[in-house]
Amino acid sequence: MTFWQSQKNLLAGVALATVVGALAISAPVQAATLRMAWAQDATGLDPHKQTAFSSLRLLELIYEPLVRLDANLNIVPAIADSWEFSADGTSLTFKLNPKAKFHNGEAVTSADVKASFERILDEATGAATRANFLSISSIETPDAGTVVFKLSQPDAPILTAMTDLNAAIVPASEIAAGTIGTKAIGSGPFKLDQWEPNSKEVLSTNKDWAGGAVALDGINISVLPDETAILAALRTGQVDFALLNDPLVATLVPREANLQLNRQPGLAYNVLQLNPSRSPMTELGVRQAISCAIDRQEVLDTALLGEGQVTGPLTIPAYATDPKELFCYTPDLEKAKKLMADAGHADGFEATVIAATGEPPVAASEAQVIQSQLAEIGIKLNIETMELNVYVDRWLKGDFDMAVAQNGGRADPYTMYNRYWTKDGNLQKVSNYIDDTLDSLMKQGRTETDPAKRKEIFAQFEKHLAEVSPWIWLSTSYNYTAQQKTVHGFVPTPTGTLFGLTKVTLD
Amino acid sequence: MNYVAQRLVTFPLILLGVSVLVFVAIRLIPGDAITAMLGTEAGLLTEQQRAALATYFGIDQPWPTQYWHWLTGLLHGDLGISVTYGKPVLDVILERFPVTLELALLSMVIALLVGIPAGIYAATHSEKPSDLLVRIVAMLGQSTPNFVVGLLIIYFLSVGFGVLPTMGSVAPLWQDPIANLSQMILPAITLGFAFAASVTRISRSAMLDVLKDDYVRTARAKGVPHRRTIWRHAFPNALIPVVTLCGVEFGYLLGGAVIVEQIFALPGLGRMVLDAISQRDYALVQGAVLFVALNFLIVNLLVDLAYVAIDPRIRLGGQ
């Protein structure tokens, strides 16, 4: 090598080092925008109307209710700083955070709270969540920062119901203009800059958010309808953070060195709904026999790959009891056969179970495991799978012998179950079962404000419900998020909210 | 040209039939826009709430009234408003169509570039090992479902090489051609694979038929060089079935390639219609199906015209 050649090489080396160095220095300056992916997109922007998980996951980043739930399901401030029930439980007063502002710069006032709840209560809005707020008789606004809800009767669960995004506070001016649902103006940590349905969302951080500073500059969400493709995008570092539904895909995440899976038992429950208005499920013995014949752990292990926990009716950690204590949670085939024989069905019977395709992803496999388990006591189960909407239509009409379902949970047992297990429940047509014990326990649970006594009431409710077996509760599932290990500080919660992204930092 | 005029006159009638079919079919499926939005929570609605939402979604009127409104709107160039997108249906369709059109064109180019040479090669080497190989690959291409091909491509690229083009939304071709093509090429290959296999098989058998004809033997006897015999004399006559196949396949692709769009997260027409059906966005489904049907009719007309261009002996309209 000549002197000049080595000089040239040296120069080239220096130049290369400079470029590499510059690249290394410039890397951290890049904007901290989180690249996120999910398979199902929001279906609309009206926080009072949208109830699908996929819509709530987006809207929770944009809108805020008066109060919200933390990771342990405790009620913590959101728009309201503090709140208080009156001694007789018929009035609930909120003090609003004076710093709370909407994305349009206007302060959040008591007038906005009043207008928002009036919109929810107005039947013309078509807000399903209205059913939780029927005890509100009037809303008073003594000053801009105070709201008083007058209740027609003591209603302990109403505060938890107010943590729901469907009770979000929207600007009174937008309600008047009729633009709720077309423009997304909330008071939450992120602003929606762009939305192309079923394709992408662009969110930027709300610098004026009263909840504190957010480390991210924004979030870019891509809708990747195939979860295998989401996993591939995570693998190649194209996506930082993703929401997953399918346990089959989620269990593959920990195999990748650069990825981390967050899983959290959710409040939703997988259940085999019997229809007690259809013979022979009208008979207690038959329903109990089905409960005894089903091995819940096996359903969980086989259909859900063990991803979840066996559960009784109550999935809320503060209220849940040990499922082993509940009726026939230890499978007992002999007892099941005897119950069938006593009910006059020693030879079994034939029935049809409905399941929705892909919702949840494990529905069809659950139905198959249950089919084989019930065959042991002579029940010939036919499985009918159908598109989600068709399923929902039949489910709402109560048009099924049995249904494999994943029903949403709530942070309060009353709000979660009054629709099914009270005499005037909106979904009596679906549950087709009620007795005086269930109804009176629910009513007690509604008015009782002492937490210890409420817990006792709902424990009795749960025990009785498992015993009369209108439904066979199976398991909870996990809520999954997957992320690069360069993402720090995300706290998952049982409600599945992505609100924890406000605390996230990127390397 | 008389033929074209005749065909154009039938278009509105066919489209009217299609629109009635779609209108009725989408409404016959159980569930409506209300259950699609609320799921099981729809059970919490009071009668009045349900009525208010039905008015909002435009499904409160009897079917004939709804159809009449839609049809009169259509005659004024208004396909209605999509409730999920909150925009006019035509705008939503025209935003999605470029992706679908580009995907269809790219996969057709791939299919023709690969399929025709492969088919002719196989025909001219008939019953030799190389012909057998081409036929086996073509058979594989035709019988492998495109979701398998698509997922394999994604899997090998992401696991084997740690690369994958951006997915989710597509950069417009005229703004960023490189980004656009890098996003479109994999789905185009996925679709083109099966398409090329069909083209190979059709062009092989068409070529074999033509090569047996007298004029080819005459050309050979006259001492026309092999290459010229194949490309100048035989090939144009073997093209007719290939054009037919391409027309059908291309028209079909313009309706959107649902599965491939789903796997590669391409915002094309196919996924849009699928989402619109599952969200019971009636106006969008009706508008999109009508648009796709119109495309199909136009492509078919163009195919007919192409016959005349390729083979002057053909006269359209049976004159």
Q: Do A394 and B30 touch (CB under 8 A)?
A: yes
- CA A99 from chain centre, in angstroms, equals 29
A115: tokens are 């207008």
- Residues A272-299: tens digit of each pLDDT: 999 999 999 999 999 999 999 999 999 9
A377 forms bridges with which residues in the sheet? none
- Residues B83-125: tens digit of each pLDDT: 888 889 999 999 999 999 999 999 999 999 999 999 999 998 9
Which band of pLDDT confidence, cut at 50, 70 and 90, is reported for residue B316?
low
A-chain residues within 8 Å CB-CB of B279?
43
Residue B308 or A98, more confident:
A98
B-chain residues within 8 Å CB-CB of A229?
154, 167, 263-265
Q: What is the DSSP string of B46-72?
A: -HHHHHHHHHHHT-SS-HHHHHHHHHH
Q: Do A223 and B85 touch (CB under 8 A)?
A: no
Nearest CB to B39 within list A51, A130, A229:
A51
Residue B87 and residue A218: Cα distance in Å, rounded? Answer: 26
Asked if B262 is an interface residue toward chain A (Cβ–Cβ < 8 A), one would say yes
Nearest CB to A51 within list B41, B86, B280:
B41
Is the CB of residue A80 less than 8 Å from the CB of residue A94?
yes
Is the CB of residue A276 less than 8 Å from the CB of residue A465?
no
CA distance B56 to chain A (A): 9
* One-letter amino acid for residue A494 of the chain: P
Q: Do B38 and A51 touch (CB under 8 A)?
A: yes
Residue A125 and residue B52: Cα distance in Å, rounded? Answer: 7
Q: Do B48 and A130 touch (CB under 8 A)?
A: no
Q: Do B85 and A197 touch (CB under 8 A)?
A: yes
Asked if B94 is an interface residue toward chain A (Cβ–Cβ < 8 A), one would say no
Is the CB of residue B45 less than 8 Å from the CB of residue A431?
no
- Residues A349-408: tens digit of each pLDDT: 999 999 998 888 899 999 999 999 999 999 999 999 999 889 999 999 999 999 999 998
Asked if A387 is an interface residue toward chain B (Cβ–Cβ < 8 A), one would say yes
B252: tokens are 């079909």
pTM of the prediction? 0.86
* Residues in CB range of B95: below 8 A, 6 or more apart: A196, B267
pLDDT of amino acid B304: 87
Q: Do B265 and A50 touch (CB under 8 A)?
A: no
Look at residue A307 and give its three-state secondary structure. coil
A-chain residues within 8 Å CB-CB of B168?
37, 199-200, 222-224
Asked if B166 is an interface residue toward chain A (Cβ–Cβ < 8 A), one would say yes
Longest C-alpha distance within chain A, in Å?
103
Is the CB of residue A154 less than 8 Å from the CB of residue A89?
yes
Strand A471-484 with A505-506, pairing: unpaired
Asked if B66 is an interface residue toward chain A (Cβ–Cβ < 8 A), one would say no
Asked if A90 is an interface residue toward chain B (Cβ–Cβ < 8 A), one would say no
CA distance B261 to chain A (A): 9
Which band of pLDDT confidence, cut at 50, 70 and 90, is reported for residue B216?
confident
Nearest CB to A396 within list B35, B157, B262:
B35
Residue A410 and residue A316: Cα distance in Å, rounded? Answer: 8
pLDDT of amino acid B1: 60
Burial class (CB in 10 A: 0-12, 13-18, 19+), A350: exposed
Phi/psi of residue B35, nearest 5 degrees? -70, -30
Given a cut of 50, the residues of chain A with pLDDT beneath it are 1-29
Residue A259 and residue A370: Cα distance in Å, rounded? Answer: 34
pLDDT of amino acid B7: 84
Other C-beta atoms closer than 10 Å to the C-beta of A57 total: 21
